[in-house]
């Protein structure tokens, strides 16, 4: 890793707010956690007085059962981003090209640049049609963040085959796949799958996740992993969560139901993209995005300004939360029938001193 290059790279913007007075729809994590998880985390304190097991076999077994792969192919990591970083570090050398979807998670490009690589962007909707030849790495996020679009398994497998033929490492970010019924690509040759507990289990601060890779790629991922890289409480919590099948099923049902209700409600006023994820991408049209975000904030709700995603210029992203909370989002975005000041001005002809009104 180059010192000057690392110093020059800024941080990627992300969702979430620390303001306790705001209901946070800007971060796309589950507002619920599995019952009993706090007890498991606290009980693990005593084990934190010694080094975690190395390798952490119980966590690997739970992760393998969860995604349907062999335990030896699981590489525990402190969050999904750590799995992404390791895969990119092993695949990309200075001057290499990496095929990345856009709009999508900004950390892919940042990690590629950190390694001296060159991001080559392709429309996220057509990433599986792209030619992987000449690229050291290709990335797919499924469902994609921020669009929420999922990818057909057979199309993914066909793309993985083309990547293998091109000697291109395929990184599949499945951070949100647990919210769907789609099957993981974990265990597919030539593919690194990255998973996290952050989203589905509502535990972004635990920092537990894992990668899955086979063959030489898996051996490299395991070799690059630092010893004791996941804390004992995080391992215990992760192992517990990964076996909570009823919680996963209930979460999927709630998100599916509430996502549809939110999309219908928001669709009365905005253009809302279809989604398989626990969030919706909302095109506010000719309205001023800053004003939409600010008005929601005034009403006690934080939404994500999605203009930070490559290629988006009139969008916000909103999470799917509990029903009563989702009602507050609809009200904050004006779906309760209350007009924004700028729209009311436009209808009455009051342009605020003769200027053009935002609509």
Residue with tokens 């180059």: 2
pLDDT of 15: 73
User: What's the pLDDT tens digit per position in 20-79?
Assistant: 889 999 999 999 999 999 999 999 999 999 999 899 999 999 999 999 999 999 999 999
Region 163-179 average pLDDT:
98
pLDDT of 2: 76
Q: Is the pLDDT of residue 190 over 60?
A: yes
**Three-class HEC string of 132-175:** CCCCCEEEEECCCCCCCCCCCHHHHHHHHHHHHHCCCEEEEECC
Do 139 and 103 contact (CB within 8 A), yes or no? no
Q: Is the pLDDT of residue 177 over 80?
A: yes
pLDDT of 350: 44
| Mean predicted lDDT score pLDDT of the chain | 92
Q: Is the pLDDT of residue 343 over 90?
A: no
| pLDDT band, very low/low/confident/very high, at 257 (cuts 50, 70, 90) | very high
Q: What is the pTM of this model?
A: 0.91
- The 10 Å Cβ neighbour count of residue 131 is 12
Q: Is the pLDDT of residue 337 over 60?
A: no
pLDDT of 67: 97
pLDDT of 340: 55
Q: Is the pLDDT of residue 308 over 90?
A: yes
Compute φ and ψ for 149, nearest 5 degrees.
-75, 130
Compute φ and ψ for 191, nearest 5 degrees.
-115, 135
pLDDT of 25: 96
Length of the chain: 359
pLDDT of 336: 61
Q: Is the pLDDT of residue 288 over 70?
A: yes
pLDDT of 335: 75
pLDDT of 17: 76
| pLDDT band, very low/low/confident/very high, at 199 (cuts 50, 70, 90) | very high
Better pLDDT: 347 or 223: 223
User: What's the pLDDT tens digit per position in 81-137?
Assistant: 999 999 999 999 999 999 999 999 999 999 999 999 999 999 999 999 999 999 999
């Amino acid at each position: 890793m180059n010192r000057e290059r690392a110093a020059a790279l800024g941080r990627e913007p992300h969702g979430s707010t620390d303001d306790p007075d705001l209901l946070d729809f800007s971060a796309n994590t589950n507002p619920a956690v599995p019952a009993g998880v706090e007890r498991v985390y606290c009980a693990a304190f005593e084990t934190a007085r010694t080094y975690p097991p190395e390798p952490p076999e119980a966590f690997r077994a739970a992760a393998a059962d969860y995604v349907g792969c062999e335990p030896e192919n699981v590489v525990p990591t402190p969050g999904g981003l750590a799995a992404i970083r390791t895969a990119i570090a092993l695949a990309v050398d200075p001057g290499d090209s990496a095929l990345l979807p856009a709009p999508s998670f900004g950390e892919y490009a940042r990690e590629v640049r950190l390694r001296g690589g060159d991001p080559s962007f392709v429309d996220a909707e057509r990433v599986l049609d792209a030619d992987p030849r000449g690229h050291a790495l290709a990335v797919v996020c499924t469902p994609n963040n921020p669009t929420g679009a999922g990818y057909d398994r057979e199309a993914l497998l066909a793309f993985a085959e083309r990547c293998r033929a091109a000697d291109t490492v395929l990184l599949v970010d499945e951070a949100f796949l647990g919210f769907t019924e789609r099957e993981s690509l974990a265990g597919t040759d030539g593919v690194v799958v990255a998973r996290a507990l952050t989203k589905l289990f509502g535990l972004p601060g635990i920092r537990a996740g894992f990668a899955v890779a086979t063959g030489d790629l898996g051996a490299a991922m395991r070799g690059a992993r630092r010893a004791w890289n996941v804390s004992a409480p995080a391992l215990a919590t992760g192992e517990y969560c990964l076996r909570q099948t009823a919680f996963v099923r209930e979460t999927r049902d709630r998100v599916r139901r509430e996502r549809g209700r939110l999309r219908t409600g928001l669709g009365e006023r905005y253009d809302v993209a279809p989604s398989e994820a626990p969030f919706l991408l909302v095109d506010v049209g000719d309205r001023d995005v800053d004003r939409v975000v600010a008005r929601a904030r005034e009403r006690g709700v934080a939404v994500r300004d999605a203009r930070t995603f490559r290629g988006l210029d009139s969008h916000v992203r909103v999470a799917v939360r509990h029903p009563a909370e989702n009602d507050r989002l609809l009200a904050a975005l004006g779906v309760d029938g209350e007009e924004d000041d700028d729209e009311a001005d436009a209808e009455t002809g009051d342009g605020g001193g003769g200027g053009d009104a935002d609509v």
